[in-house]
Amino acid sequence: MNESGQWEPEETHFDRREGEDASDLLPSRISRVLHERASQVHFTAAQRAQILQRLPARSPLLLRRRRGFLPAFSLAAAVLVILSVVTLLVVIPSLHTPAPTASIIFSLDKTFNTPPQLASGGQPVLLDPSGRHIVYGVVNQTGDMYTSDLADPITSNRLAMQFARDVSWSPDGSALVTTIYPPAVSTPLLALVQTGHYMHTLGKEALAAAWLPTSAQIITYITQVDGQATLWEIMPNGKDAHSIGTMSLPTFTQSLRWSPDGRYLAILASAGKVPTRAQLQGPSQAIYIYDTHSGTLIPLVPTGGASIIDAAWSPVGNTFTYVMKTPQGHTTIKVVDITTYKTLFTLLLQRQFLGMSWSPDGRALVYSDGGVLNAHVVYGKSIVFSNVKSSADYPIWRDNQHLLYLSVNNGTRQLAQMAANASH
């Protein structure tokens, strides 16, 4: 800068070392030049006074305006904070609220012409594996059981057995096995029922019997003497009876339930080693699990006063379900994993137990609590029963999409079926 305050051009020389890129040195060179030139600038007293005079003075009005803005800004900030907090209170809970679970809706699909014995007080017991033939009992005719083809329930209705204690379908649905207890005999007898026909005995005494689920040609049954139980196999024609195992039982066998793979046998038993006829035909008091692979017998439910009023295996895996009623009248459904003997879940009924059934895929357990259908879903979508205007008793799955039940409305009893509709 010269004496008049004007900048004069000045040559500046940049030395670059060999091997260095000029672009890498540019920032440092610019900084050095600016520093050198700034050090050369000197203001006289007259120049400094001239510059200060050119700066605008602060207006008192402007200062008052700025001070007036402060309360407004504070109020706006407070409102903004309040709105932010309210927004967070509304938005954050919704982020943590789980999305509604999709459901499968079951509603009335059709009704069936119902046989008079079933309509006047019958109770569905079992549906054959094909989902076509039903066996049912009659309340006022103890031991009498009928079979009916759902394709034509009235025409096909037949008295199939008398004095029957329990029944089991063959895997192909071609026949039933049962034990009958006529008044003239001291020990129940093994009997076979071809579907659509009347029973005939197989010439063997048996406390309980069940079809082996893995073969349509093998029936199993149990005999018991002095606390020693023997498990037998026999063909449907009554031939080739042979023992397949023995076990010590402190109680008397009443009925048998095989696991789907045929490994585990659930034995439902009465209290006492020598029960009366009434006890043998009454509710069970104990449950034992017999492992055919290891030959071990495990007490699942020891005798203790409670009554076992129903029991069933899940079609999938080794899950066993039983319904227990205490002397005080409390009814519970318990589901147990037999491989670990741990209870998977327990359902407490509020009214009267009126049947249960596992879906064929093992996904859901449906049961009737005083005529109200309930579904405990193990996995997948929940199940909703829509527009059930009557009491729905004794549910039985036909397949994964259809549920058979007994509709009771103002004394009128009719077989009905629900079907799964589109989920929502």
Tokens of 70: 């402060």
pLDDT of 257 over the 50 cut = yes
**Where are any strands of DSSP class E within 326-390?**
331-337, 342-348, 353-358, 364-369, 372-377, 382-385
Q: Quick: pLDDT tens for 387-411.
A: 888 899 999 999 999 999 999 988 8
Interatomic CA distance for residues 268 and 265, integer angstroms: 10
Band of pLDDT at residue 291, cut at 50, 70 and 90: very high
Handedness of CA 287, 292, 293, 297 (dihedral sign): positive
* Angle, vertex CA 59, rays to CA 57 and CA 61, nearest 5: 180
pLDDT (mean) for 53-79: 51
Alpha helices (runs of H) in 342-414, residue ranges in sequence order:
none
Output the pTM of the full model: 0.74
pLDDT, residue 26, reads 52
Band of pLDDT at residue 203, cut at 50, 70 and 90: very high
pLDDT (mean) for 170-175: 95
Higher pLDDT, 37 or 96: 37
Contact 254, 270 (CB under 8 A): yes
Interatomic CA distance for residues 259 and 311, integer angstroms: 11
Q: What Cα–Cα distance (Å) separates residue 211 from each residue in 58, 129, 357, 387?
A: 106, 12, 19, 38
pLDDT, residue 12, reads 40
pLDDT (mean) for 218-241: 94
Higher pLDDT, 377 or 274: 377
Q: Quick: pLDDT tens for 75-123.
A: 555 545 455 544 544 444 444 444 446 789 999 989 999 999 999 888 8
Q: Quick: pLDDT tens for 357-388.
A: 999 999 999 999 999 999 999 999 999 998 88
Number of residues that this document lists for the chain:
424
Query: Domains, the chain, ranges and CATH?
Result: 163-303 (2.130.10.10)
pLDDT, residue 281, reads 79
Higher pLDDT, 143 or 27: 143
Q: Quick: pLDDT tens for 120-153.
A: 888 898 999 999 999 999 988 889 999 999 999 9
